[in-house]
Amino acid sequence: MCGLCGIISFSNTLNDDHRIHGMMNLMQHRGPDDAGTYFSRNIAFGFNRLSILDLTPAGHQPMILEGSNGVDYCIMFNGEVYNYVELRQELIDYGWTFRSNSDTEVVIKSFSQWGVKFLDKLNGMFVIVIHEVNSNKVIIARDRFGIKPLYYYYDNSEFIFASEIKPILSVTKYPREANQEVIDAYLLLNRTNYSSSTFFKNIFRLLPGHLLVIESNKINISCWYSLRDRVDSIRSSESSYFELLKQSINLQMRSDVPVGACLSGGIDSSTIVAIINKHNNENKNLNTFSVVYGTGNHGDETEYIKEFENAGISMNFVSPTEKMLLQNYVGFVNALEEPMPGMSSFAEYVLMSIVKKHCTVLMNGQGVDEVFGGYDYFYGAFLKELLLKWKFKDLFIYSWYYYKNYRNVSHIKYMIFYLVPNWIKLLAFNISKPTLKLDRTFKLLPLIKNLYQFKSFQEYCLNHFSVKFEHHLLWADKSGMNFSIETRFPFLDHRLVEASLSFLPEQVFDGGLTKSVLRKAVQEIVPKKIVNRLNKVGFETPEDNWFATEEVQNLFQFLIIDNTPKIAKFVRLSRVRKKYFKYLSDKKGSTIFFWKLLNLELWYKKFIDEEQIESLF
């Protein structure tokens, strides 16, 4: 929902600063239904509204809360607070009255009632910006897990923020410069969005669960929510988990516009669709949206999606191709604003383009893998915990269970990898990526530690949440909002996440199966073929097949091989060429590294050198 932006001057008065209108124009796709501005002393706010709750002008933003002596507060709010109905009633009991049915009015009056502690009461996804008029203080809060984005830039004269990076670039005066350390992490470790830094030097992200306060020209950032501090020591059960999941989905179905759901054929999205279909009587004939590539192709899940054929839902399908990619590559790079390690996010981008024809809100199953060990590297973390606790019998039993189920030993390889010293891990990454310049990689040792240093499965999941997860949410937000679609994540209800991480790993991996808790919880409503499914397929694209086409290879060869690319400063170009020609000779192997280079090169041309990359396609 929506896009917001603002400029806070540390010295000048901002009266109808024209820059704020330019910033808003660059985010009109995030909020095509309404727009508004707010000016006060040294502050300028701009807002683009995507109407989801209370479609009337009463939900207009920026929203003012007036007191007895004039304006007390001004709020901009991007996101949704799903429990606004309950909070509204609580505020009514305190004596508050309401003029709208929007959650924005509930948020600003909650702040007036409880101060910043009101954040603990919110169940939702959000970036909230509040101007306390009397103190001239600005408060910016980001939701617990980083579902909604907030970027900022500051220097000695002003602080500039927005829901996207492009509006900030349009008004800052500093020369555009790539962040070398972030690019190194991207190329070596496939990591993005692991800290407050972005690919742009001097442009930052407000971290999930953090609060930024500007008062008397000083910036203070603090953490208002820590998942590590909230994980409950009381063990949950499958039945209580299922009840909490139903509550989360019912809350997130609140909307004054049509709601649809992703349906991939995996247990995560299938669970959401099954619960909506069974327990939400207001959403019959639910629209679902699936990416398919044709039966027999790697990553295609048509056979599992068809398990819902007779469930009374309206299925919508899209099949991304390399031709679609080349036709939409510029828009894709522009929408996501930072380079992508692979092309799975393009499938999501294409999917969003068909969602708008049917609904404005889309349910997404993201978040289960991160708490219930959906990938083999999570299982390796569990085995490491067993080893450190000297549970050798359990180590053998669970290792055998996994092999019996999945017929591979990747879980053992990951356990060994986690056990070696961090400098050896870094060396292993360097050896596997000989095309990269090695003189800077030692700076990534702290990131290696944050990723892979842990003593328990729970600690590994917490590390994953804080370092490896947010990019999925940002890609979904930017792809969706590019087409004016709001994406919601029922599995990321904070109560559900906290409860999920309270299960013992022996429960999570019961019988050597990943996501055993979820499998047991939904076995009565999700088709058995999906519940019992063992092959794990992420949100993939046939990127190896795409790269094998003449059109994509011609693009790569022109940008990276035949000319001196912009990214030559980050890689050993001679080794890139050697690796590429070996690929052409062998006609096999993973192409993810080539895609990373291509995405990085196009990003650099578009955003750093400000070239018109449209002419390349």
311 secondary structure, DSSP code: S
Three-state secondary-structure class, residue 313: coil
pLDDT given at position 221: 98
617 secondary structure, DSSP code: -
Strand partners, 39: 44
As a whole number of angstroms, the distance between CA 486 and CA 31 comes to 10
As a whole number of angstroms, the distance between CA 223 and CA 207 comes to 9
The greatest distance separating any two alpha carbons of the chain, rounded to the nearest whole angstrom, comes to 77
Strand partners, 138: 131, 214
For residue 417, the number of C-alpha atoms closer than 13 Å in the C-beta half-sphere is: 22
Residue found by looking up tokens 């099954």 in the block: 274
Residue found by looking up tokens 């004596």 in the block: 95
**pLDDT tens by residue, 307-332:** 998 888 999 999 999 999 999 999 99
Closest CA to 66 of 103, 43, 97, 91: 97
Whether residue 461 contacts residue 370, with contact meaning beta carbons closer than 8 Å, is answered with: yes
Output 70 or 501, whichever has higher pLDDT.
Answer: 501
pLDDT given at position 537: 64
pLDDT given at position 522: 94
Kindly tell me if the per-residue pLDDT of 110 is higher than 80: yes
176 secondary structure, DSSP code: P
Whether residue 77 contacts residue 52, with contact meaning beta carbons closer than 8 Å, is answered with: no
**pLDDT tens by residue, 8-49:** 999 888 777 789 999 999 999 999 999 999 999 899 999 999
Closest CA to 589 of 432, 360, 480, 380: 432
Give how far the C-alpha of residue 119 lies from the chain's centroid of Cα atoms, to the nearest Å: 20
Backbone angles phi, psi at 373, to 5 degrees: 60, 55
pLDDT given at position 361: 96
Contacts (Cβ under 8 Å, ≥6 apart) of 612: none
Closest CA to 27 of 608, 408, 484, 406: 484
Kindly tell me if the per-residue pLDDT of 503 is higher than 80: yes
Whether residue 61 contacts residue 49, with contact meaning beta carbons closer than 8 Å, is answered with: yes
**pLDDT tens by residue, 113-168:** 999 999 999 999 999 999 999 999 999 999 999 999 999 999 999 999 999 999 99
207 secondary structure, DSSP code: P
Kindly tell me if the per-residue pLDDT of 283 is higher than 60: no
**Mean pLDDT for the chain?**
92
Three-state secondary-structure class, residue 300: coil
Start-to-end CA distance of the chain, whole Å, equals: 32
The four Cα atoms 422, 426, 429, 431 give a dihedral, to 10 degrees, of: -120
Amino acid at 114: W
Three-state secondary-structure class, residue 215: strand
Kindly tell me if the per-residue pLDDT of 282 is higher than 90: no
Pairing, β 314-318 against β 287-291: parallel
Give how far the C-alpha of residue 110 lies from the chain's centroid of Cα atoms, to the nearest Å: 27
Rounded mean pLDDT, 543-547: 91
95 secondary structure, DSSP code: T
Backbone angles phi, psi at 211, to 5 degrees: -125, 130
- Provide the pLDDT confidence category of residue 93 given band limits of 50, 70 and 90: very high
Contacts (Cβ under 8 Å, ≥6 apart) of 200: 165, 169, 176, 177, 178, 179, 607
Token pair of 519 as six digits:
């499998």
Three-state secondary-structure class, residue 320: coil
Kindly tell me if the per-residue pLDDT of 275 is higher than 90: yes
178 secondary structure, DSSP code: B
Kindly tell me if the per-residue pLDDT of 219 is higher than 90: yes
As a whole number of angstroms, the distance between CA 176 and CA 223 comes to 29
3-state helix, strand, coil split of the chain in percent (to 5) is 50, 15, 35
For residue 255, the number of C-alpha atoms closer than 13 Å in the C-beta half-sphere is: 26
As a whole number of angstroms, the distance between CA 605 and CA 584 comes to 26
Token pair of 188 as six digits:
């070596």
pLDDT given at position 235: 67
As a whole number of angstroms, the distance between CA 215 and CA 205 comes to 19
As a whole number of angstroms, the distance between CA 65 and CA 134 comes to 12
Backbone angles phi, psi at 73, to 5 degrees: -140, 155
Strand partners, 130: 75, 139
Whether residue 543 contacts residue 592, with contact meaning beta carbons closer than 8 Å, is answered with: yes
- DSSP states of 496-516: HHHHHTTS-HHHHTGGG-TTH
Whether residue 104 contacts residue 77, with contact meaning beta carbons closer than 8 Å, is answered with: yes
**Would you put residue 407 in left (φ > 0), alpha (ψ -120 to 50) or beta?**
left
Output 456 or 427, whichever has higher pLDDT.
Answer: 456
As a whole number of angstroms, the distance between CA 69 and CA 579 comes to 70
Whether residue 498 contacts residue 230, with contact meaning beta carbons closer than 8 Å, is answered with: yes
Residue found by looking up tokens 């059960």 in the block: 237
pLDDT given at position 366: 93
Rounded mean pLDDT, 220-225: 98
Cβ atoms within 10 Å, residue 120: 11
As a whole number of angstroms, the distance between CA 470 and CA 463 comes to 12
Kindly tell me if the per-residue pLDDT of 534 is higher than 90: no
Rounded mean pLDDT, 590-602: 94
Three-state secondary-structure class, residue 170: helix
Contacts (Cβ under 8 Å, ≥6 apart) of 527: 270, 307, 308
43 secondary structure, DSSP code: E
Burial classification of residue 585, based on how many CB atoms lie within 10 Å of its CB (0-12 exposed, 13-18 middle, 19 or more buried): exposed
Kindly tell me if the per-residue pLDDT of 233 is higher than 70: no
CA angle 360, 364, 366 (to 5 degrees): 150
Amino acid at 504: L
As a whole number of angstroms, the distance between CA 82 and CA 209 comes to 17
User: What percent of the chain shows pLDDT beyond 70?
Assistant: 96
